[in-house]
Structure 1
């Protein structure tokens, strides 16, 4: 029999950090470029404005900014981190991976480091991987970051996509704790429909909006309910529901089906746009920062996107 490291009883999310580029692009700004207007955009996706990165911002630099804030919020030094996971689908170069670069820039010496691409479900996938690593004894403190520069992959003359997507990064620290506060992940994919979101001409993000809308609003609330069931949490116990910020109509449609009217629903999409794997940690971090989620809050997360991949889990905040 092989010896194994002694593992803690559980894993918890202990801190958040976020970064958004300073440039704000409003619906009025987009009206000057494509055939659209504020009413059309808000009625379909619920977005008023979004943040767009400048040339000085990269997937890596935004991840460093968000990750550094998460470390500071958790009272951790770079020496405390032994694994870095970056969830992203928008890195410019596949080699080297973003995680190792981000770790080095943060002063984290010789951690495990890997990128994870589950598109907009990436943060939930990475959170599950971090939780398993901690519970299995492979890590004590994991820095999990979702970072996206979707503006690099936009056709800015395509009004169906340029009004939706944006840039930013969100991070969380997952640490070994006596109590387990990250519920079992419920994940999966619908690869037979992967052609609904893809890169057109290998450079422009394209999605079949109506097909994605039908999929998310008719099928994914069942995934969310299963995640609550596996965590032993009733809808009435939820403090908040934080889904991927894809579209305000999607967010609200799923929220209505959960049967948790008391739960605060994240609506970061209105001012942040769709930031793919960054959207859930961005929204969570901002809600915590505003004092909307006190200690002990029970939060349901639900990520979904290209693949078509999805994942959900319940977390309890420290």
Structure 2
């Protein structure tokens, strides 16, 4: 009998480098409120958001993802030739094909790296870390680049008071590679499609063109994007049932964090940093209380400056914490992504 060859990799992995990219254009709450009946005070009270970044009209998911990836590779002291696979977590790459990941891989100068996109919305980055961890430990790859990137301004309804202020643009990336000691724990992940309507695309692509394109002739444009209308009619909107999402996150996510800690063999007392998806400060505050996190734990708060960047939010927040010195290389961090799908994923990682 012929025995097929299989692969076997290292026992452990870790994050070797982290990087981020933040578009230059800053949109304050006051500027955004030109389009909706709201105030800076109301937005901050409801979400904690003070401002968000917005990419230029010609700045793509591929552009932003490549910038963040290069920063992560520099952090890890690696070049494109060292990367065996690229995973791009995004829900805002505007093409079914080609995927964003192969184009990012090509710009980075990888040598025919495997590359694919991953669509798990706000849990996308943590899903990507889980897949990369498995790929390295199986021997399928030595270094895997995980990119979380979103251009949510293309899918935002500027006339919707409940969602217009929530979303921002940006990219974060991490390089996953072999380690002599455990640097990434087992991942706790899952989904619940029964909640898919809570965060969803408002209409189909065709419906968006039929419903909103005629109105674009008469409606004033976003001052940050002269080519776009108030309704941002080029793409279908992202719609959200805010109260339902809040109730789900406030009740379901804390137990998922506890499961992730248990899977890692640690307790809340053992971690130094908590990096939840940057969805809403009220949700984060609720999680901190329910998990009874000690005072020494640093809580990521990148949402104040970046708003909700979906798959990009966790790597963006991680890079900000390390750059500011609030978190340090070697710290144990619990990270969890949760959102549309509904999907979730969490793991404990050692910061690079």
Which interval holds the TM-score relative to the shorter structure?
over 0.9
Q: Distance in 1 between matches of 2:191 and 2:6?
A: 32
Matching of residue 209 in structure 1 with residue 211 in structure 2: no
Residues 322 and 329 of structure 2 are in contact (CA less than 8 Å); yes or no, is this contact kept in structure 1?
no
Partner of 2:341: 307
For residues 110-147 of structure 1, what are the alpha-carbon distances to aligned partners after superposition, in whole Å with 9 as ceiling and x for unaligned?
00101000000000000000000000000000110000
Which has the higher mean CA deviation after the structures are superposed, 283-292 or 215-224? Answer: 283-292
Partner of 1:30: 32
Cα shift at 1:293: 1.8
For residues 61-91 of structure 1, what are the alpha-carbon distances to aligned partners after superposition, in whole Å with 9 as ceiling and x for unaligned?
0000000111111100111000000000011
Residues 122 and 310 of structure 2 are in contact (CA less than 8 Å); yes or no, is this contact kept in structure 1?
yes
Q: Distance in 1 between matches of 2:136 and 2:47?
A: 37
| Aligned-residue RMSD, C-alpha | 0.9
Q: Distance in 2 between matches of 1:293 and 1:41?
A: 28
Q: Distance in 2 between matches of 1:74 and 1:218?
A: 37
Matching of residue 178 in structure 1 with residue 180 in structure 2: yes
Cα shift at 1:235: 0.6
Matches within 5 A, 1:1-318: 1-202=3-204, 203-261=236-294, 262-318=296-352
Q: Distance in 1 between matches of 2:114 and 2:181?
A: 24
> Alignment partner of 1:161: what SS?
coil
Q: Distance in 1 between matches of 2:299 and 2:77?
A: 28
Q: Distance in 1 between matches of 2:40 and 2:243?
A: 20
| Structure 2: gaps of 5 or more residues | 205-235
Residues 86 and 145 of structure 2 are in contact (CA less than 8 Å); yes or no, is this contact kept in structure 1?
yes
| Structure 1: gaps of 5 or more residues | none
Q: Distance in 2 between matches of 1:295 and 1:210?
A: 37
Structure showing greater Rg: 2
Cα shift at 1:223: 0.4
Cα shift at 1:295: 2.5
**Length-normalised TM-score, structure 2:** 0.89
Instruction: Work out the number of aligned pairs and report it.
Output: 318
Cα shift at 1:6: 3.5
Which has the higher mean CA deviation after the structures are superposed, 109-118 or 173-182? Answer: 173-182
Q: Distance in 2 between matches of 1:104 and 1:250?
A: 38
**Length-normalised TM-score, structure 1:** 0.98
Q: Distance in 1 between matches of 2:40 and 2:329?
A: 38
Cα shift at 1:252: 1.2
Q: Distance in 1 between matches of 2:67 and 2:96?
A: 21
Q: Distance in 1 between matches of 2:112 and 2:154?
A: 30
Cα shift at 1:180: 2.1
For residues 245-285 of structure 1, what are the alpha-carbon distances to aligned partners after superposition, in whole Å with 9 as ceiling and x for unaligned?
00111111111111222211101101110000000000001
After TM superposition, which residue ranges in structure 1, 4 or more long, deviate above 4 angstroms? none
> Alignment partner of 2:333: what SS?
strand
Cα shift at 1:3: 2.4
